Amino acid sequence: MVPLLLLLATVPQSSSPLTVSAAISLSEALEAVAAAYRVAGGTPVVFNFGGSNALARQIVNGAPVDVFISADEAQMEVVEKADLVRAGTRVPVVANRLVLVVDSRSRVKAVTDLGVAEIRRIAIGDPVAVPAGVYARQYLERINEWTRLQPKMVPVANVRAALTAVQNGSADAAFVYATDARIAPALRVVATITGPQAPRIVYPGAVVRTSRHPQAAAKFLEFLRTPPALAILEKHGFTPVTDTR
């Protein structure tokens, strides 16, 4: 409560909205957080959701963004390497887990079942750079399934596209985040990826160095890490950042 009051005291009265580029898996959760932020007297926020790799490229190419929240460290590195992260503002925001989803009629029971003929196409974010796809590939490589399953992989632009592919039947299975599976109750979660071989999924956030509203941006980023915001994020299935998996 006290941090919140401090926040309210220091937020400037500017009415120009903040532009926040955030990983697409954060869509519903962040909209809810921004609404709460507004109610608490914070600046309005305009979101630009997409695959984190696409967002990073946009920032590197000069897109006027105030805050960037990526689904993995690698894409934040891309922005950091281009000297576009405001010093001292890079922080871990929230964590997530990877799951395997299939159509509710499918007979797949485990990740190792993906080799059966019934599974013709597996949708994942492009494993070259889309975080959800990179995480999936890391995991499958660690359990020695990547080479066998690669011919079935359908790389798509972002994790929600992977979810949509299973929903409309163009793919038989997809690796998405636990938070995405929650908005698609018609699909069945075969497995939640945990354990020593599971990827550690942490979403870093930072203020973009070229932001026109660095103070307001920093305030919003701070708000994300306060209990009220975390409560909203957890309600959507995200988990707090810890060192355990």
Partner 1 sequence: MDLTRITLFTLAAAVAATAVMVPPGLFLAWLLARYRFRGRVLLDTLVSLPLVMPPVATGLILLMLFAPRGPIGGVLGRIGIDVVFTWKAVVLAMAVMGLPLFVRTARAGFEQVDRRYESVAATLGAAPLRVFFTISLPLAAPAVIAATVLGFARALGEFGATIMIAGSIPGSTRTLAVAIYSFAETGRDREAGALLIVSAAIAFGALWLSTRLTSRNGLRA
169 binds partner 1 (CB under 8 A): yes
Rule CB under 8 A: which of 190-219 touch partner 1? none
In total, the chain counts a number of residues equal to 245
The piece of 24-32, 50-58, 184-192, 233-241 that touches partner 1 (CB under 8 A) is 50-58
154 belongs to the binding site for partner 1 (CB under 8 A): yes
Total of chain residues touching partner 1, rule CB under 8 A = 20
Closest to 130 in 3D by CA, of 52, 183, 77: 52
**Is the distance from CB of 205 to CB of 151 less than 8 angstroms?**
no
CB 143 within 8 A of CB 111: yes
Which CB sits closer to partner 1, 5 or 128?
A: 128
Alpha helix locations (H) across 15-124?
Answer: 27-39, 52-60, 73-81
Angstrom distance (rounded) from CA 236 to CA 90: 23
Beta-carbon count within 10 A of 41 CB: 12
As measured in angstroms, the least distance from the Cβ of 53 to partner 1 is 6
129 vs 229 by CB, closer to partner 1: 129
**Does the footprint of partner 1 cover residue 171 (CB under 8 A)?**
yes
* Binding pattern for the stretch 118-137 against partner 1, x by CB under 8 A and - elsewhere: --xx----x-xxx-------
7 vs 134 by CB, closer to partner 1: 134
Distance separating the N- and C-terminal Cα atoms of the chain: 29
CA distance 225 to 229: 6
Pick the stretch among 48-56, 63-71, 185-193, 222-230 that binds partner 1 (CB under 8 A). Answer: 48-56
Residue 45 near residue 34, CB atoms below 8 Å: yes
DSSP 181: H
Q: Site for partner 1 (CB under 8 A): which residue of 170, 194, 231, 235? A: 170
Residue labelled with tokens 């006290």? 2
Least distance from partner 1 to the Cβ atom of residue 62, Å: 15
Dist. CA 96–CA 25, nearest whole Å: 10
Which of residues 33, 84, 149, 153 is near partner 1 by CB under 8 A?
153
156 binds partner 1 (CB under 8 A): yes
| Interface segment toward partner 1; rule CB under 8 A; list 35-43, 93-101, 163-171, 185-193 | 163-171
Per-residue string for binding with partner 1, 56-95, x by CB under 8 A?
Answer: -x--------------------x-----------------
Sign of the four-CA dihedral 86, 9, 49, 205 = positive
The whole-angstrom separation of Cα 170 and Cα 120 is 10
Binding residues (CB under 8 A) for partner 1: these are 51, 53-54, 57, 78, 120-121, 126, 128-130, 153-157, 168-171
